[in-house]
Amino acid sequence: MTLRLISLAVAALLCALPARSETIVAGLSQDMVSITTNFTGSEILIYGAVKREAPVPPDDAPLEVVVTVQGPSAPVVVRRKERRYGIWMNTEAVNISQAPSFYVIASSAPMDLAMSDTEKLRHSVTIPRAIRAVGIASEAEDAPNFVDALVRLEEERGDYAMAENSVILVEETLFRADIALPANLTEGNYIVRLFITRDGAVVDLHEEVIIVNKAGFERLIHVLAHDQPLLYGLLSLLLAVIAGWGASAGFALLRR
Amino acid sequence: MQLYLPIAELSVNAFALLGLGGIVGVLSGMFGVGGGFIITPLLFFMGIPPAVAVATGANLVVASSVSGVLAQLKRKAVDFRMGFVLLAGGLLGSAFGIWVFAWLTTLGQIDLFVQLSYVLFLGLIGAMMLRESLGALMRSRKANAPIRRSHVHYSVHKLPLKVKFRASGLYISVIPPLLAGASVGFLSAIMGVGGGFIMVPVMIYLLGMPTKVVVGTSLFQIIFVTAFTTVMHAVTSQSVDMVLAFVLIIGGVIGAQIGTRLGVKLKAEQLRILLALMVLAVCLRIALDLLLTPDELYSITRGVAI
């Protein structure tokens, strides 16, 4: 009985070992991003190393690194303009149930080499896979065009990006990826995923989270506007009244 | 220096904003207009979402109207009774406007509606102002202009519910001022303007109020209607951006003082022609946006499902 257990354990270990022989050890330059009044974007450095028990066999396919950073998802409405009565107006709209506010894929090699299509599907790595567009076909005849437009618009804004060959990998061991976060960042948890692959197959996967928050005065205003809208509205009024009154009083004093 | 606007959720150049507030301030100082109908479209051009531009515009008008009404109060040029009647109409109109605004936002047609309203009103006002100021310029050259009768009986004097407005020296029905107030309140909610540019001609030509109480009374009602609009926008759509408003107010306050001094030096008719041309230019720019084929046919709205 004991013998069987031990042999089972050994067999399990033997099976598990090749898959876990290379693991990721990673860190982030910052795991908190604060959006303040003078926030103009931020650069996140994702760095790490590949830890291995045994040297790499020389005939193995080269190791590659893929990094994805995904912002919080929310429903999105995509609208299309059409000319009606001589003017351009929104006519058709498609509801996309979930789309990330930010999505960047960075890799140490062209994505086709770095990860096989099956692995991309399994881990939802591509930009179209990150967007959940279920049941949109009934909303417009050419619904896929709306999803393409969403991706194109977000790419133009710098919210979605494919940065192939941007991950620096040294000696198949040390790597770093620099990800630029734009100024118009949405609040929430940003999920950082790191993959190491060989021959397109994922060898190890590691996840980190970056928390993006409005900070200081910005946060105060945003929270107040959404949690206490009446108070916020009255405060805005007060500000305007004081500014208006102060202006006329101040300049009246100056003129004397 | 970039400034992050917490409600508009974008980063803009603080000096550009300050300059924008300043220019509008100069205009309001020179011409005695609130400037809401200039600043809101300029905010669209800067990329501020229309909902935020309109709500913040209303907030700005509060500041400039408070500044203006204080001077008018000192001159006792406010007809309070008329002000309250206009205000009652204005609050109803504004509440209805807020509701229409929220409804059109969910339909995705609010931008179009706001733009169309601007094209219509700026075009109308610009053309009227240009015609009137060109006419005045002609008349001042010809000298002996016909004198307007001081008391004319219009058809509005036949309506029921008559009330005495002592400061204006009028005994008229409350229905026309109520309706005028309501339509201006509606515009305030939809366009983020005070509506002085509509209210003043209505008071003079339709209600027959004496010119000396018109500006003060219209400012008085504008303060309360735009204040109500600001709070309502803040409550229903959280679209009032305090930081944006503050920077624009600072620029506006300084600009208004410069404008007042410039206005004294320049001739009134020429100024009015200038303002009319500017209003028409803004109108044309918005109209072109609607008429020309846009570069991007698609647009995205986050966080709302329809």
CB B300 to CB A75 under 8 A? no
CB A183 to CB B65 under 8 A? no
Q: In this structure, is residue A3 part of a structural domain?
A: no
B9, B68, B296: residue with CB nearest A184: B9
* B300, B301, B302, B306, best to mutate vs chain A, most A CBs in 10 Å: B300
CB B304 to CB A239 under 8 A? no
Residue among B242, B299, B21 at smallest CA distance from A156: B299
B67, B68, B234: residue with CB nearest A225: B234
Please state the ipTM of this predicted complex.
0.75
CB B306 to CB A93 under 8 A? yes
A39, A149, A229: residue with CB nearest B298: A149
Same domain? A84 vs A191: yes
Task: Tell me which of A25-29, A166-170, B66-70, B101-105 is least confident.
Answer: B66-70
Residue type, B112: L
Residue among B152, B204, B208, B202 at smallest CA distance from B179: B202
CB A244 to CB B227 under 8 A? no
Q: Is B2 on the interface with A (CB under 8 A)?
A: yes
Same domain? A104 vs A155: yes
List, for residues A49-59, the tens digit of each pLDDT value: 888 887 777 77
Residue among B49, B256, B80, B91 at smallest CA distance from B186: B91
In the predicted structure, residue A11 carries a pLDDT above the cut 70: no
Q: What is the C-alpha separation between B21 and B5, in angstroms, rounded?
A: 15
CA-based nearest distance B202→chain A, Å: 26
Instruction: Count the neighbouring beta carbons within 10 Å of the beta carbon of residue A58.
Output: 5
CA-based nearest distance B188→chain A, Å: 15
Distance (Å) of CA B267 to CA A249, B129, B137, B259, B270? 27, 15, 10, 13, 6
Mean pLDDT computed over A174-194: 86
CB A240 to CB B245 under 8 A? yes
In the predicted structure, residue A44 carries a pLDDT above the cut 70: yes
Residue type, B178: L
Structural domain spans, chain B: 2-75+94-140+179-196+217-291
Q: Judge whether A175 and A26 are in contact, CB under 8 Å.
A: no
* DSSP 3-state of B281: helix
Q: What is the C-alpha separation between B79 and B177, in angstroms, rounded?
A: 13
Residue B28's pLDDT is what? 74
Question: What tokens does A3 get?
Answer: 């013998």
In the predicted structure, residue A19 carries a pLDDT above the cut 50: no
B20: CB partners within 8 A, 6+ apart:
B39, B42, B43, B46, B248, B251
Same domain? A136 vs A28: yes
Tell me which chain B residues have a C-beta less than 8 angstroms from the C-beta of A253: none
More confident of the two residues A222 and B88: B88
Same domain? A117 vs A230: no
Same domain? A246 vs A134: no
Domain around A198: 16-214
Q: In this structure, is residue A242 part of a structural domain?
A: yes
Q: In this structure, is residue A128 part of a structural domain?
A: yes
Looking at the 3D structure of chain A, how many domains does it have? 2
CB A233 to CB B231 under 8 A? yes
Same domain? A130 vs A234: no
Same domain? A116 vs A199: yes
Tens digits of pLDDT across chain B (306 residues): 777 787 777 778 888 888 888 888 887 777 766 677 788 888 888 888 878 888 888 888 888 888 777 777 777 777 888 888 889 999 999 999 989 988 888 887 888 888 888 888 888 888 888 888 788 777 776 655 454 544 555 555 666 677 777 777 777 778 888 888 898 889 888 888 877 777 877 787 777 787 777 878 888 888 888 888 888 888 888 888 888 888 888 888 788 777 777 777 776 677 778 878 888 888 898 888 888 877 777 877 776 544
Question: What tokens does B190 get?
Answer: 């939809």
Residue among B275, B243, B231 at smallest CA distance from B58: B231
Q: Which residue has the tokens 């061991």?
A: A173
* A82, A90, A219, A254, best to mutate vs chain B, most B CBs in 10 Å: A90
Q: Is B62 on the interface with A (CB under 8 A)?
A: yes
In the predicted structure, residue A15 carries a pLDDT above the cut 60: no
Tell me which chain B residues have a C-beta less than 8 angstroms from the C-beta of A186: 9, 302
Residue A256's pLDDT is what? 65
Q: Is B53 on the interface with A (CB under 8 A)?
A: no
Q: What is the C-alpha separation between B49 and A198, in angstroms, rounded?
A: 46
Tell me which chain A residues have a C-beta less than 8 angstroms from the C-beta of B302: 74-76, 101, 186
A229, A241, A248: residue with CB nearest B234: A229
Question: What tokens does A194 get?
Answer: 């790191």
Mean pLDDT computed over A189-194: 90
DSSP structure class, residue B205? I
Q: How confident is the model at residue A125 (pLDDT cuts 50, 70, 90)?
A: confident
Residue B66's pLDDT is what? 81
Same domain? A240 vs A195: no
Mean pLDDT computed over A67-80: 87
A6: CB partners within 8 A, 6+ apart:
none
